[in-house]
Amino acid sequence: MLTDRFIKEFRSHSNNELFSFNSFFQTLASQTPPKVKIVMSNGYDASTGREAILINFYKNPQFRSIDVFARSTVEKFVQFLESKDCENPSYECQLIFMVHCSKAKAEYSFFETVFKNFNTIKIVEYKDSYLENLLLKIKQNDTIVKAIKSSVFDFGAKHIDKDDLKPIMVVFFEAQLNILNGFASMDKIYINLTKINFLLETIEYYGKKQNNDLILGLYFTRLAIHEMTHVLLRRKLNDLNVSSPFLEQKNMEILGNDFLESGYIAEKKIFGAKIDFFRGLEILNFDYLNNFFRDVMENKSTLNFDLKISRCQISESVPIMAVDIDIRKKREYE
């Protein structure tokens, strides 16, 4: 097995302080392994997922260009591959996160952060029903459903029903990954509660506590639209490890030169841009946002968001790949 071979490779150089994936990748080169399809229709299979991660790394030119990591950085990942605790929901959540990260068009510091912290992801129970109820409203909002449907359609997913969004569940986790907002599987959206708590602290810092539910609601709406788009696309293409959420060349020409990522495109159809709700809190037009949010909740027939009037700040993050993260410096990861 490929995973066993990788573990053996890592363990056989235990005296070195650095570790390079290169010699393992060289052994793969002669086999040209195909990308692993992850179907998940009969539950998830940890060994398929682990193999998919290693092959994704191998096929990722940005990852391949990294010569070495500190051995201690990769150690947690190897322990994760060796783990027998695969039925643990937190393990499954970490595995899905790693499947996405292994495809990221990112640089060394991103992968270092991921290796060091991915195993801090822990599923938690979120007692507050506010966001779960909000998700029901979002799934029933005709304008939002239409935006999601047309986004996945552009990426090759056909035959989409309104009911396709219904079974999507929300799961909350905590993690020492403060750049991470959330990600998704083929039937769930995973939301970082640590980040939500940070948002609430930020709102309080700016003295806007009376707008907690509004800002949290809008932040969650944005994120749910983004992640449900990924869920729907993966379901329709029947692959969690779907080749790329970015557009194929031919669609790229149709939609123009934008951040060509399905979740981002769906968000843009509602908000006109990807909004960073952590910034600009002191100057937001709360009256306007309140009215807009009420329209979402009441499923008003038209949903018009005017970015300028709202005074919301556009996110400077560049979408990297299927995980929703905030990276402030533009073009840091491409």
Q: Which residues form the interface with Zn ion (CB under 5 A)?
A: 263
* Beta carbon of residue 204, minimum distance to Zn ion (angstroms, whole number): 28
**52-66 per-residue burial string, b: 16 or more CB within 10 A, e: under 16:** bbbbbbbbbebbeeb
* Beta carbon of residue 321, minimum distance to Zn ion (angstroms, whole number): 7
* Beta carbon of residue 261, minimum distance to Zn ion (angstroms, whole number): 5
* Beta carbon of residue 182, minimum distance to Zn ion (angstroms, whole number): 9
Would you state the structure tokens that stand for residue 272, as one six-digit string?
A: 């006109």
* Beta carbon of residue 246, minimum distance to Zn ion (angstroms, whole number): 9
Backbone angles phi, psi at 109, to 5 degrees: -60, -30
DSSP 109-168: HHHHHHHHHGGG-EEE-----HHHHHHHHHHH-HHHHHHHHHHHHHTT-----GGGGTT-
Looking at the Cβ atoms of 81 and 265, the one nearer to Zn ion is 265
* Beta carbon of residue 147, minimum distance to Zn ion (angstroms, whole number): 14
Residues 169 and 187 sit within 8 Å (Cβ to Cβ): yes
Looking at the Cβ atoms of 3 and 151, the one nearer to Zn ion is 151
Looking at the Cβ atoms of 49 and 263, the one nearer to Zn ion is 263
* Beta carbon of residue 97, minimum distance to Zn ion (angstroms, whole number): 13
Looking at the Cβ atoms of 78 and 138, the one nearer to Zn ion is 138
Looking at the Cβ atoms of 33 and 156, the one nearer to Zn ion is 156
Looking at the Cβ atoms of 28 and 323, the one nearer to Zn ion is 323
Chain mean position to CA 244? 13
**3-15 per-residue burial string, b: 16 or more CB within 10 A, e: under 16:** beebbebbeeeee
In angstroms, rounded to a whole number, what is the distance separating the alpha carbons of residues 130 and 141? Answer: 17
In angstroms, rounded to a whole number, what is the distance separating the alpha carbons of residues 135 and 221? Answer: 8
DSSP 35-50: PPP---BTB--HHHHH
Looking at the Cβ atoms of 217 and 263, the one nearer to Zn ion is 263
* Beta carbon of residue 52, minimum distance to Zn ion (angstroms, whole number): 18
In angstroms, rounded to a whole number, what is the distance separating the alpha carbons of residues 27 and 24? Answer: 5
Residue type, 5: R
In angstroms, rounded to a whole number, what is the distance separating the alpha carbons of residues 240 and 116? Answer: 24
Residues 54 and 6 sit within 8 Å (Cβ to Cβ): yes
Looking at the Cβ atoms of 46 and 177, the one nearer to Zn ion is 177
